[in-house]
Chain A
Amino acid sequence: MSFVKDTLDGVKATFTGLATTFREMVRPPVTIQYPEEKRPVRPRFKGRHVLKRYDNGLEKCIGCSLCSAACPADAIFVESAENTDDERYSPGERYARVYEINMLRCIFCGYCEDACPTEAIVLGDNYELSFTDRRSSIYTKEFLIEPVPEGGKATPQKVEPGIYTRSVPAMKDPED
């Protein structure tokens, strides 16, 4: 008796186990073929930083160093200089002559984004941050800044005097 029962139990157990296997065989896979295929990121994902531009191509960054001050990992280095109307990078008087983020140090906390008075630095969707030597971990302004939008001009721009006198634009409070 016990032999037959044992056998039947064994077979039942086998099929119970295999049932999962068969079920999963017909289900679509949860893995994706990275890097050919990329998973979409969440709206609040914090990836590699992007330095934003205004529609006219001027840089939003005014070189205030507040991101650098806010950074808990001391990953950001900013060096500023003065704009002129002949060579204008950003509205107002000041722009970032040098902007560097050390990606080995960055912990993607997003404090820099919070600190930015002009919404110039935004943690974007890009999470592909690989490099093969330490020096390449320092992302420079040229690398971080977004391309000139359509209709805008590259910086530095030559502009009419007296237009871009405000560094910090009037902004609405965030909705949420």
Chain B
Amino acid sequence: MMAKMVSLTIDGKPVEVPEGTLVVNAAKKVGVDIPVFCYHPKMEPVGMCRMCLVEIGRPVIDRASGQPLREEDGSLKIQFGPKLETACTTPVSEGMVVLGATEKVKAGREDILEFLLTSHPLDCPICDKGGECPLQNLTMGFGPGESRYLYDDKKHLAKHVPLGELIYLDRERCIQCGRCVRFQELIADDPVIAFSQRGRSLEIVSYSEPGFDSYWSGNTTDICPVGALTTADFRFRARPWELKAAASICNHCPVGCNLTLNVRREAVSGGKWVLKRVMPRQNEAVNEIWICDKGRLGYHFGAQNAERLEKPLVRKNGELQPATWQEALELVTERFQSVGRGLITLASGRLSNEDLFNLGKLTRSLGGKSILYSSMAGGDLTTQIGFAPGTNFADMGKESAILVVGSDLEEEAPLWWLRVRQAAKRGATLIVLNARQTKLDRDAHYSLRFPFGTAAAAVLALVNTLSPKRPELPESIQELARSSELKAAAKAFAEAKDAAILFGGDGMGLAETQALAQACANLLLITDHFGRPNNGLLGVWPRANDQGAWELGWQPSMNLPADLAQAQALYIVAADPVSDDPAYLNAFDGQKFVVVQDLYLSQTARLADVVFPAQAWTEREGSYTSGERRVQRYYPALQPNAALPPRVESPGSRRAQVLTGLRAELDGPQADFAIPAFLAEKLGYEGFVHASASLVFARLAAEAPSFGGLSYQKLAEVHEQWPIVGRSDLYYGGTTYENTQGLGVQLPLAQGGASLLSWPQVADFKLPKLGGIAFPITRLYDRGATLMHSQLLHKRIGEPYIILSKQEASRLKISQGGFVRITFTDAERSVVVQAKVDEGLPERVVLAPRSFGLPISGPTPVELKPAG
């Protein structure tokens, strides 16, 4: 569908843009800057700030003939309006002439800026926005040299207004452009801030509890054209021009948001490079220009702090004691060699592709078994019928359908929630199929509920309305299966030109997600929605690189505690099973040799024989494969403690050969890919590299089929993106960083396709008559190790809690916020937690958030008692 093109001239430059384009955007396309404050290319125009005033002329049309009139010289007769017009609200029209540099326009801009500055405090020297401030830049570019306003007439307002504990408002600096309010309403769908009062008393307020209660609040500080909104995290920590920038990828969730890490040396940290803030980096196919607050504020675990492991630890006389790398590596080499096939390597998707490649290869060489530490299965399907190259949520609209099943998407992968929502706003049919209400339901065309525990059956019910094969459905799903809404949803899904499914693990464990993934795959296969762009299956994985792990052949184990218990040696990397579930404690019986490789001394690491200190993702290079199967590079921002800076060498060079030889002076944390390579070298295996991530990636690309042909150079390629953002266009898109270091590459699909169709057995799921079943749910802010280092978020994270039904609460005589003792009957473990009551929850259902210290990995029988 090609939009009609319209030609016009802007400051003498001819432009051809699609019909409906706003003048300000058309100007941007040809490099003419029309200054704006309230307009933002991601939002509808409001025309409030009046900064974008330009002269607009239109061809004069003869009323009688309908033809444009011409001047004597044959050129079109152009009529200019008496007033300046706002370029941000005016759509282009054929033959339009826009003048953005005439005296009248210049005077108009000066006038508006003089007005804005009459109420501005001009405290740029202490303003965090100073240096990257649109008001500052536009004043320099278009403003009057001096103000005629009397300083004494200035209205003084509060400068330190916490809108919540995360975002501060400076009322004096606010120019009432309303970008933040509109962002929260239109994009974040959390209208928790608004204007109050009127005229010069207009102010931004938040009435939510906690204040500014949104996962998206940080983005308002990016698009604020002045320093009115600042994050508590970065407040007064540095001036923008003093910061160095390193491109990175967020590693909190499978979206893979592109980030820029801003670092600076800090005197109070002894002159070390310190992470000062995390900013979004534009990638219109991934995160556009947004990031969630977890990504923005939850980076502190990757910073250097006193709790980080600095030296290898080796158990001597029952105590973990610091040791040299040489000693630790030799001990591990020796023990792994003797164990051989008895080795189990357990690693999580927090690791990069390179790490998982080297770890997997080492384990294979030893004859051991690699297990992915994950609460979700189905990656074998997403590697084959996942998102094909060229898939982009931004391209999904009127002719697409999106099914979100078993996922509280905003909590699990916030940016996907945002982009799915926008696809729905563009006209994509959104089907939300969940056991409980989620925020995405607000935008769903079909909002369907299945009884807890029957996610796969619910998807099969969709399949049933379309497929002649008609798999048998359990009793409890029949009511949903017969509903006309489900039938209509299935029809819409099948008939859509493009269709995608996002499946998550809400209320599910490994076995349940396995069945769900297969059911989803079947739906895609029978409706022929796979193998081409904007179609396929997307796993809402718990970790950033779970998809990469699957692509590299890693799989979770259906019976992990037993597997671990049977192993003779364990190599646990970036995983902490013991604090997730004490059931794993059985595996640590003192008989087997346990190696843990992590950033911190986790509960699991405390039980290890050897602990390797690993580098955080901020300190090294690497790549993640996002859920959308996009391989993206991240770059080092900080220097690892005491370690030599990573060097890039071409393979085979003399120096590379020297570097691959183990250095005696190895010190401090090492990259996760390097440690297994050191071990491999000691074990005498060929083909391992530890010198740099790019060399490991080169091997990976050679050996892993789906990564074939990729290189770090390819991952670093960029092309122009719309809207244009970046350092010289701050007033337009905000302070989000321009992407100059790589948009990443989507992996081709693995072979498989239609042969994948198989019908999972779905047993009926009935809630018990007594007791209850706890279903795990995911909260964005959890008490996991990756977030608890961010002190600022502690209030938002809160204390451990469970969610009860109204009936359960009244039976236990517990009100909202009361304490309850929850006993996990299988794990024989009980915890006292706070109870929240959800009126919509069915009886006997208990929701238990993951990573809150509750031993829950799937639906688990529990007993509840009130606790003092």
Contacts and interface: CB of A to CB of B under 8 A. Distances in A.
Given A79-B266, A98-B268, A170-B151, A63 B156 contact: no
Contacts of B266: 79
A141 to B, nearest CB: 10
B268 A62 contact: no
Contact of B126 (A69, A77, A94): A94
Given A97-B268, A165-B159, A92 B239 contact: no
A64 B125 contact: yes
Contacts of A80: 126, 236-238
A168 B126 CA distance: 9
Interface string A100-134: 10000000000000000110000000000000000
Interface in B236-261: 236-239, 241-242
B186 interface: no
A93 B236 contact: yes
A168 B151 contact: no
Contacts of A81: 236
Contacts of B151: 170
B5 interface: no
Interface string A70-96: 000000010111100000000011100
Interface residues of A, number: 25
A81 B268 CA distance: 11
Given A63-B236, A77-B267, A82-B235, A167 B123 contact: yes
Nearest to B122: A168
Contacts of A167: 123, 125-126
Nearest to B172: A165
B160 interface: yes
B784 to A, nearest CB: 29
B126 A63 contact: yes
B156 A168 contact: no
Contacts of A63: 126, 236
Interface in A158-176: 165-168, 170
Interface residues of B, number: 19
A144 interface: no
Nearest to B235: A82
Contact of A94 (B122, B236, B267): B236
A111 to B, nearest CB: 15
Contacts of B130: 64
Contact of B125 (A77, A82, A165, A168): A168
Given A93-B160, A170-B151, A64 B239 contact: yes
A69 B268 contact: no
A79 B267 contact: yes
A168 B235 CA distance: 18
Interface string B786-816: 0000000000000000000000000000000
A98 B160 contact: no
B123 A68 contact: no
Nearest to A94: B126
A62 B125 contact: yes
A77 to B, nearest CB: 7
A84 B512 CA distance: 53
A148 interface: no
B156 A69 contact: no
Given A69-B239, A82-B235, A82-B236, 6 more contacts: A62-B126, A63-B126, A64-B126, A79-B268, A80-B126, A81-B236
30 contacts: A62-B126, A63-B236, A64-B125, A64-B126, A65-B238, A65-B239, A65-B242, A66-B125, A68-B242, A69-B239, A69-B241, A77-B267, A79-B267, A79-B268, A80-B236, A81-B236, A82-B236, A92-B123, A92-B126, A93-B126, A94-B126, A97-B268, A118-B125, A165-B156, A165-B159, A166-B123, A167-B126, A168-B122, A168-B125, A170-B151
